Amino acid sequence: MSYWPSQPHTFRSSIEEYSSKLMKLAHSVANFIAKTLDVDPELLADKNVVQFVGMNYYPPCTLTPEKVLGFSPHSDGSFLTILLEVNSVQGLQIRRHGVWIPVNPRPYALLVNAGDLLEIITNGKYKSIEHRVTINAHNERLSISAFHVPKYDRIVSPLLGVTDEKVLYKITKVEEYSRLYLSKKLDGKRALDHVKLSQT
Ligand SMILES: O=C(O)CCC(=O)C(=O)O
Ligand SMILES: [Fe+2]
């Protein structure tokens, strides 16, 4: 918490409260996911998870908004990302079947994104979503991303529900994946391609 500004004086405490509530939310979502896969919820428990919070500010671009991006296409290197679109200005798009689809912000709603590590753990049953952020011609946009990531010294591997299921991803060290992810400079889902097992 000491990294966050101490002014205005309520800032750190608000972030602290927000962050701890989101930690609980991430835990419940992980529990639901564990149920849908029929795996032990402990395997996705939050004692193994750390949270990174980032704030994004996208200024408007009056002249050529269509020529700039606020965030290049990427999938998150997290397990789960919980996003708050603070002032409800549209900008986020997700890629589905090769087409960019705008996500309309809903006031007071949080958006949960599946990240690459969730795709690995679920052996591809939950796909991480490729997304980008466009720039608005008239309005600034603000968002807060909370990334929930397994601790650096952990290993992630597909949790298999049924024994004859084909394993699609390598056993991956979280630390190695984070390095790989950062070296790919937000280029779609490229980091994930490196941990896929070849399908023969
Ligand atoms: O601002 C947004 O809507 C998305 C931000 C994002 O993709 C990220 O922080 O990874
Ligand atoms: Fe993202």
Instruction: Give the domain range for residue 79.
Output: 47-193
Instruction: Please tell me whether the overall predicted TM-score, pTM, comes out greater than 0.80 for this model.
Output: yes
Q: Which residue has the tokens 């004086």?
A: 9
How many structural domains are present in the chain? 1
User: What are the pLDDT digits (tens) for 41-76?
Assistant: 776 666 789 999 999 999 999 999 999 999 999 999
Residue 75 CA to ligand 2 centre (angstroms): 6
CATH number at residue 136: 2.60.120.330
Q: Which atom of ligand 1 is nearest to the CA of 81?
A: 10
For residue 99, the cross-strand partners are 96
Does 28 reside within a domain?
Answer: no
The size of the chain, in residues, is 200
Strand order in the sheet with 99-102: 69-74, 131-134, 92-96, 99-102
Residue 69 CA to ligand 2 centre (angstroms): 13
User: What are the pLDDT digits (tens) for 75-131?
Assistant: 999 999 999 999 999 999 999 999 999 999 998 999 999 999 999 999 999 999 999
ipTM of the complex: 0.99
Give which of 140, 114, 2 is closest to 60, Cα–Cα: 140
Is the beta carbon of 116 within 6 A of some atom in ligand 1? Answer: no
